Structure 1
């Protein structure tokens, strides 16, 4: 059995190292996308006043639609940390997740794509599908499953050392030299990273297979979310396509929201909405991650709040499923989680390099042994 798991570990590591490295490194880059964008765009992102939320949706949409008349605008984002509102613009031929945020200045009529946004959009495509669309998405999914097998086989192969001397097996012995040191580094560090790898892989498969995502929702007793930009038609009639709300109703809904929620970290005015109700999602100032949003449903004819869904009121399993993106990035656990996922992602390259060194070292040793045979 040990020989079988060793072969699995060796085979997957040797033949999938390139895909593993690309997926892991692109994930590491995306870990601190928000901070990097803030650093690249200090004038656009940092603000000392609250004028951004004073712009009405109609003012923002007028400028955005004039600049990109054929594009689809998913939502408007108001952020207390930025001078200007943003819109998520999906260009013709793009999927919802391939859109990008543009800063809108209604006073000047400017539509600005933030510095670095194209780079991170490329990193996102690389991470999701290796920039190969559905083929690449399937490769990433299979690589994720292979990564799980690498983790499981690695635990099995090192289990004897863990069982005999648990704490000693988790230490990196810097007194060792050569292949012995590389082996201990590969194994001991791997055991520390195992929880993060399990978190990353098991959450990453959520976007790879519909049956897997549905199984998680079924087990947690939660409802699968609609795709970005999608809404359920009124009265459950799937054959009817609801007309989008008039921009003046969105203006009224936004003003009502601002009176009811005077302070927030960020708020999204959803644009592809059905019927007479507007949906505004907002994140409280004390929220740990961007998926911890609350949802307001506003009746734009009577100008009153129909329903409120507070993130903090959800059971823990619903919070997990609603925050799957933040679970995957580690943000669900705060800065500690983000740093943990970042280090784990970078460490993948170290495991690839040390794994190859162990493999090549073993082959060299076999050749030497053959030379000494009579």
Structure 2
């Protein structure tokens, strides 16, 4: 009787957990693959808003602000790093709106247009709900996806262990790095599962470790305890800062506030400015360095309405644990290094989508071999 080895245990865990969760993981990974380039795909099916850079000088920000106020309450203004891109005004056109609508504004002509709905909006919302909740009620779908994600983490680690041969020598390791396309389809299928799974493994582990933060409160709390800082702690903008100005204090215009911000953060980059609506509210501004490699890393300023700097947060000066917690979302979405990381995540998700299929075929082929061996005996 053969000894039940540790490797056999890992193989059985990998096999049965994979078979049990395969259909759910297939749909979660497929929807995740499609969501990686959601914005870029939707942009292909909507008319691009054109900025006329030949129209002369940019219109002063305060004039644009006054003009757009006619559409509703302005929540925030986004100023791009590039001169040929439109300003984005987030405006509550209806008091019932939670986030407001986005208006594209040409800073040279003053022309503006409300964001056009894409014909793919409904499709991608379905993909989002499939990815997060398997199209079920949140209370039912969230734990199902969460448990499947935990299983996927175990599958990724156990798969990596099984990738290594029993005897670790270069001649034994070498076949695991390539797909033998000259072999029969069973061998090719095995290599697709084994080799592609190995290359995607590190990215799949990152996706599962970060994705679980949305599935389980206990996991998010445990992660916060390990990091020593709250994950998603800045949701809602963090602690509120109130203006300390007296009624007779001279307040600055939005253009002057932006000048203060650019002097505090003296580099070219995209700015997002939250606009105060009451005398007690203040300006909150984030800025991304256009020369940096990551489009999601931002510095933050909180400014009173007279231009006083109430708070200044430079991402590079934050403790490592705070920086890691702030990057949970971009690490999961693949946006951390822009298009470069999104391409890698797209390929990794595509491989992840194929793993339940190739894994099931490997099991099925082995299953068919057993009766043949029994008959030969």
TM-score scaled by structure 1?
Answer: 0.77
The alignment status of 1:140 with 2:178, answered yes or no, reads no
What residue in structure 2 maps to residue 103 of structure 1? 103
What residue in structure 2 maps to residue 63 of structure 1? 71
Aligned pair partner of 1:87 in 86, 90, 93: 90
Deviation at 1:279, TM superposition (A): 0.8
What residue in structure 1 maps to residue 336 of structure 2? 332
Q: Any stretches of 5+ residues in structure 2 without a counterpart?
A: 1-5, 244-249
Question: Given the superposition, is the C-alpha separation of residues 215 and 171 from structure 1 closer, same or farther in structure 2, using an over 3 Å criterion?
Answer: same
Q: Alignment partner of 1:142: what SS?
A: helix
Equivalence map 1:174-189=2 (5 Å): 174-189=181-196
What residue in structure 1 maps to residue 131 of structure 2? 127
Could you say what the CA RMSD is over the residues aligned between the two structures, in angstroms?
3.7
Which structure carries more relative contact order (alpha carbon 8 Å, separation 6+)? 2
C-alpha deviations, 1:96-148, integer Å up to 9, x for none?
Answer: 7xx68633559677533342444444433332223332322222211110101
Q: Mean Cα displacement is larger for which, 5-14 or 101-110?
A: 101-110
TM-score scaled by structure 2?
Answer: 0.77
Equivalence map 1:340-355=2 (5 Å): 340-355=344-359
Deviation at 1:84, TM superposition (A): 4.2
What residue in structure 2 maps to residue 252 of structure 1? 253
Question: Given the superposition, is the C-alpha separation of residues 86 and 136 from structure 1 closer, same or farther in structure 2, using an over 3 Å criterion?
Answer: farther
What residue in structure 2 maps to residue 245 of structure 1? none
What residue in structure 2 maps to residue 204 of structure 1? 211
Distance 2:91 2:168 in 1: 52
Deviation at 1:233, TM superposition (A): 4.3
Equivalence map 1:289-328=2 (5 Å): 289-300=294-305, 302-328=306-332
What residue in structure 2 maps to residue 77 of structure 1? 78
Distance 2:36 2:219 in 1: 24
8 Å Cα contact 2:35/2:127 also seen in 1: yes
Distance 2:251 2:24 in 1: 45
The alignment status of 1:216 with 2:223, answered yes or no, reads yes
Question: Given the superposition, is the C-alpha separation of residues 51 and 355 from structure 1 closer, same or farther in structure 2, using an over 3 Å criterion?
Answer: farther
Aligned pair partner of 1:369 in 368, 373, 377: 373
Distance 1:214 1:52 in 2: 48
Q: Mean Cα displacement is larger for which, 160-169 or 52-61?
A: 52-61
Deviation at 1:370, TM superposition (A): 4.1
Larger Rg: 2
Distance 2:194 2:122 in 1: 38
Q: Would you tell me which structure has more helix in proportion to its own residues?
A: 1
Aligned pair partner of 1:358 in 351, 358, 362: 362
Distance 2:217 2:196 in 1: 33
Deviation at 1:260, TM superposition (A): 3.5
Q: Alignment partner of 1:276: what SS?
A: coil
Equivalence map 1:276-295=2 (5 Å): 276-295=281-300
Deviation at 1:48, TM superposition (A): 4.0
Deviation at 1:295, TM superposition (A): 0.9
8 Å Cα contact 1:130/1:136 also seen in 2: yes
How many residues align? The count is 350
Distance 2:93 2:26 in 1: 29
Distance 1:117 1:272 in 2: 31
8 Å Cα contact 1:103/1:114 also seen in 2: no
8 Å Cα contact 2:46/2:117 also seen in 1: yes
Q: Alignment partner of 1:361: what SS?
A: helix
C-alpha deviations, 1:198-238, integer Å up to 9, x for none?
Answer: 11111212222333333333433434444543542459xxx
What residue in structure 2 maps to residue 149 of structure 1? 154
The alignment status of 1:171 with 2:178, answered yes or no, reads yes
Q: Mean Cα displacement is larger for which, 54-63 or 182-191?
A: 54-63
